[in-house]
A and B are shown apart, each in its own frame.
Chain A
Amino acid sequence: MVQLNGSNALVGALRKQKVKHIFGIPGGSTLPLYDALCDSELQHILAHHEQCAAHMADGYARASGFPGVCLATSGPGATNLVTGIATAYMDSSPIVALTGQVPRMMIGRDAFQEADIVGITTPITKYNFQAKAAAEIPSIVKKAFLIASTGRPGPVLIDLPRDVMQETADVDLDAPVEIRGYKPRYDPHPIQVKKVADMLLNSERPMMLVGGGAIISNASNEVLQLAEHLLMPVGYTLMGKGAVPDTHPLCLGMVGMHGTIEANKLILEADVLLVVGARFSDRTTGKLDQFCPEAKIIHIDVDTAEIGKNAKVDLPIVADAKKTLAQIYAQVVQRCTKREASSWLKRLEELRGQFQSRNNGSSDSNYLRPKDILKELRRVLPVKAIVTTEVGQNQMWSALHFQALEPRTFISSGGLGTMGFGFPAALGAKVARPEVPVVDIAGDGSFTMTEQDLATSVLDHIPVVVVILNNSMLGMVAQWQRLFYRRRYIAVDLKRCPDFVKLAEAYGAQGERVGSLSEFSTAVRKALASEVTTVIDVPISPEENVFPMVPAGSALKEMIWE
């Protein structure tokens, strides 16, 4: 037991959790806490909008696997976190959000900068707390990190009334905690494992679909080992990109609305689909009853509530993906030798050959094509470089054409689809992994949503590279208006505003506009060597579409690719 005020108890408890960085913005209710940060080893990174603080914590978590921490004051500070928290919730990212709150006596009286942030965030957090006394703080923090980072990870919020931060109490920073309603299940049931092995061994056309869960549970090796043994092609959801290298011969690329042709075709023919840590989102499945019409579905997920939520599953396993795949592999190896060739693999190669030349994008020679830009970016970047994306066309082009080679190197807002996520997430990722380059692949629409945090990158010395695929449009909306609303464009023309080069320079960052691939790769190389953030503006055609595409609500077989 030590005598500490609430603020110091919080700082001490965060240190016990090995927290090194906090992304935040101060305000009235968090003044006592900031005062305690003065004397602590915790490094505070001053965001310029609380939404960005949350995305930074999220990017930090996704790049490192370690919970990211963000901090906002009461009222508007707290409500500004909401988009960031919801983003992390949808993509199962472990963040711990700390919010100031008005003093206990004022709660419920509509005090200045009071917001019911616990009520507001209940549906978008895995759990949330309001500290009622300083003595509770260490155990709350311990529980928060435990809940955020175990099982299916997710955001946890701790609301901290100002007077709780100020009161002094005897606190025990090492008190053990127990949460009786929270027992994540990691070990697969042996009978279920055997059944999976049976199904896979009896199948002729097995396919795997990996989601974000495969990355969260570090299951990449286990995915590949099983896939290679059975010659099982692997498709992924957006969140699963990076779980297997895009260069692997069995890797099909993304399944779904903007999935690759081979992934979306092969899934229609598969007889067993092994789904690992994915949740059958509508963007992945298209029309659900025609998703994988020939296949029996095996679903591995650590969250029981995902089983049967969207798709009807033939064989569910509620457990950790890595452990489960390892046990399935152990069974499979005992019962069959490594497959060397199969007609199923031939079918994959046939599809590849057939469609390799398709999907190159527009032929407007006045502009660089996104595909070529992203291929060039891959050539210039080291293997371990981290790429984040914004949301919309830039994101789907990245998913299709940028080859991710390692897990946790492709970071994108999948579930919520939050424009403006990529840049602050890149900053968070860079703080977590300062030794690797971090690049935000952006669109001109998305980047303007969080561009003010260029100030954070400059002032806190977090150099990243922003590549803006600038079509001067809210491109994805424009694409839908073009394809489904008879080109009746409305509210999509951004008219090349702002000038991103000048914008970058106004913040003390570097800006460059490039018109050719060689200029582009030179600019990226220069940016990687720079100690300050660089924004590279790459004009592309406003008419460019993302293809292939499965129209919303259609079956995967109704794919259009030109």
Chain B
Amino acid sequence: MSTTSVQRGYVIACLVENKPGVLYEVANMFRRRNFNIESISVGATEERDLARMTIAVRGDDWTVEQVVKQLRKIIDVIRVTILDPKESVIREMALVKVHVSSAQVRSEVLQYVDIFRGRVVDVAPDSVTAEITGDVDKIDAYVELMRPFGVKEIARTGITALARGGKPIRE
């Protein structure tokens, strides 16, 4: 179908029924239709009975159109929007635990955390754990800078996103 297509990253925001099984339904649809999820994050919303899923997908225009249609077909999915990266605030949070072999390394790591406007959330004799928030590229860049020191563990949330401006997606 899509032989000459360009692969891009897309961010899809969905409002879904806030009840058990919906994440399974959504993830299952991706698997069944042979679409890939790069990341997915789920959380509460301003309305108690709605949850919000932010799904990062890589693909061409055709694939993403199919993803959106299949998502809309799921009865527990109430609203689906593709967020334009230029018109949206897109953030991911990562916790990165780095090995520090000496006091000098420690101060170097702390400087990087500062440059990335991160926060140190845990310090041990041989490690520093920092919380970094930003878009995916920023976190990737931080992780790359830490690699020479020895990254012990990383936990990333996957992206979450809102469109800029006053209008919520449910309208």
Q: Given the known inter-chain contacts A122-B28, A180-B78, please indicate yes or no for A303 contacting B21, CB distance below 8 A.
A: no
Residue A112 CB within 8 A of the other chain? no
Q: How far does the Cβ of B24 sit from chain A's closest Cβ, in whole Å?
A: 7
On chain A, the residues within 8 Å of B102 by CB distance are none
Is B69 within 8 A of A181, CB to CB? no
Other-chain residue from B1, B66, B74 in contact with A181 (beta carbon distance below 8 A): B74
Q: How far does the Cβ of B169 sit from chain A's closest Cβ, in whole Å?
A: 14
Is B69 within 8 A of A122, CB to CB? no
Q: Given the known inter-chain contacts A180-B78, A309-B66, please indicate yes or no for A303 contacting B73, CB distance below 8 A.
A: yes
Q: How far does the Cβ of A158 sit from chain B's closest Cβ, in whole Å?
A: 14
Q: Given the known inter-chain contacts A123-B32, A181-B17, please indicate yes or no for A147 contacting B75, CB distance below 8 A.
A: yes
Residue A336 CB within 8 A of the other chain? no
In the complex, which residues 56-88 of chain B have their Cβ closer than 8 Å to any Cβ of chain A? 62, 65-66, 69-70, 72-78
On chain B, the residues within 8 Å of A19 by CB distance are none
In the complex, which residues 293-339 of chain A have their Cβ closer than 8 Å to any Cβ of chain B? 303-305, 307-310, 312
Q: Given the known inter-chain contacts A180-B78, A181-B78, please indicate yes or no for A305 contacting B73, CB distance below 8 A.
A: yes
Is B24 within 8 A of A127, CB to CB? no
Q: 1/0 contact trace for A124-165 toward B, CB 8 Å? A: 001100000000000000000001000000000000000000
Residue A119 CB within 8 A of the other chain? yes
On chain A, the residues within 8 Å of B62 by CB distance are 308
Q: 1/0 contact trace for A164-207 toward B, CB 8 Å? A: 00000000000000011110000000000000000000000000
Q: How far does the Cβ of B73 sit from chain A's closest Cβ, in whole Å?
A: 5
Other-chain residue from A118, A127, A307 in contact with B75 (beta carbon distance below 8 A): A127
Q: Given the known inter-chain contacts A119-B24, A123-B28, please indicate yes or no for A304 contacting B78, CB distance below 8 A.
A: no
Residue B92 CB within 8 A of the other chain? no
On chain B, the residues within 8 Å of A305 by CB distance are 66, 69-70, 72-73
Residue B135 CB within 8 A of the other chain? no
On chain B, the residues within 8 Å of A307 by CB distance are 69
On chain B, the residues within 8 Å of A309 by CB distance are 66, 69
With the chains together, A310 CA to B78 CA distance in Å?
A: 25
Is A122 within 8 A of B75, CB to CB? no
Task: Find the A residue at minimum CB distance from B77.
Answer: A181
Max chain B Cβ within 10 angstroms of own Cβ: one of A180, A182, A303: A180
With the chains together, A303 CA to B28 CA distance in Å?
A: 19
Task: Find the B residue at minimum CB distance from A304.
Answer: B69
With the chains together, A310 CA to B24 CA distance in Å?
A: 25
Is A122 within 8 A of B24, CB to CB? yes
On chain B, the residues within 8 Å of A180 by CB distance are 78
With the chains together, A307 CA to B70 CA distance in Å?
A: 11
With the chains together, A127 CA to B76 CA distance in Å?
A: 9
On chain A, the residues within 8 Å of B17 by CB distance are 181
Task: Find the B residue at minimum CB distance from A122.
Answer: B28
Q: Given the known inter-chain contacts A118-B21, A181-B78, A309-B66, please indicate yes or no for A304 contacting B73, CB distance below 8 A.
A: yes
With the chains together, A512 CA to B137 CA distance in Å?
A: 75
Max chain A Cβ within 10 angstroms of own Cβ: one of B28, B29, B69: B69
With the chains together, A310 CA to B66 CA distance in Å?
A: 10
Is A181 within 8 A of B24, CB to CB? no
With the chains together, A310 CA to B72 CA distance in Å?
A: 18
Q: Given the known inter-chain contacts A305-B70, A308-B65, please indicate yes or no for A181 contacting B76, CB distance below 8 A.
A: yes
With the chains together, A26 CA to B72 CA distance in Å?
A: 37
On chain A, the residues within 8 Å of B1 by CB distance are 310, 312
On chain B, the residues within 8 Å of A303 by CB distance are 73
Max chain B Cβ within 10 angstroms of own Cβ: one of A123, A147, A310: A123
Q: 1/0 contact trace for B3-47 toward A, CB 8 Å? A: 000000000000011000100110011001000000000000000
Q: How far does the Cβ of B118 sit from chain A's closest Cβ, in whole Å?
A: 39
With the chains together, A98 CA to B159 CA distance in Å?
A: 39
With the chains together, A308 CA to B16 CA distance in Å?
A: 25
Q: How far does the Cβ of A118 sit from chain B's closest Cβ, in whole Å?
A: 7
With the chains together, A419 CA to B73 CA distance in Å?
A: 29
Q: 1/0 contact trace for A266-308 toward B, CB 8 Å? A: 0000000000000000000000000000000000000111011
Task: Find the B residue at minimum CB distance from A129.
Answer: B21
With the chains together, A347 CA to B29 CA distance in Å?
A: 45
With the chains together, A84 CA to B171 CA distance in Å?
A: 39
Task: Find the B residue at minimum CB distance from A288.
Answer: B1
Q: How far does the Cβ of B114 sit from chain A's closest Cβ, in whole Å?
A: 46
With the chains together, A539 CA to B66 CA distance in Å?
A: 48
On chain B, the residues within 8 Å of A127 by CB distance are 75
On chain A, the residues within 8 Å of B77 by CB distance are 181
With the chains together, A119 CA to B66 CA distance in Å?
A: 23
With the chains together, A179 CA to B78 CA distance in Å?
A: 10
On chain A, the residues within 8 Å of B65 by CB distance are 308
Q: How far does the Cβ of B59 sit from chain A's closest Cβ, in whole Å?
A: 14
Max chain B Cβ within 10 angstroms of own Cβ: one of A180, A181, A307, A308: A181
Is B32 within 8 A of A179, CB to CB? no
Q: How far does the Cβ of A299 sit from chain B's closest Cβ, in whole Å?
A: 13
In the complex, which residues 226-246 of chain A have their Cβ closer than 8 Å to any Cβ of chain B? none
On chain A, the residues within 8 Å of B32 by CB distance are 123
Nearest first, the 10 closest Cβ-Cβ pairs linking A and B are: A305-B69, A305-B73, A181-B78, A182-B75, A123-B32, A181-B75, A127-B75, A122-B28, A305-B70, A304-B69
13 intermolecular pairs with C-beta atoms under 8 Å apart = A122-B24, A123-B29, A127-B75, A147-B75, A181-B75, A181-B76, A181-B77, A182-B75, A304-B69, A304-B73, A305-B66, A308-B65, A309-B66
New A-B pairs, 11, CB < 8 Å, besides A122-B24, A123-B28: A122-B28, A123-B29, A123-B32, A147-B75, A181-B76, A181-B77, A305-B66, A305-B70, A308-B62, A310-B1, A312-B1
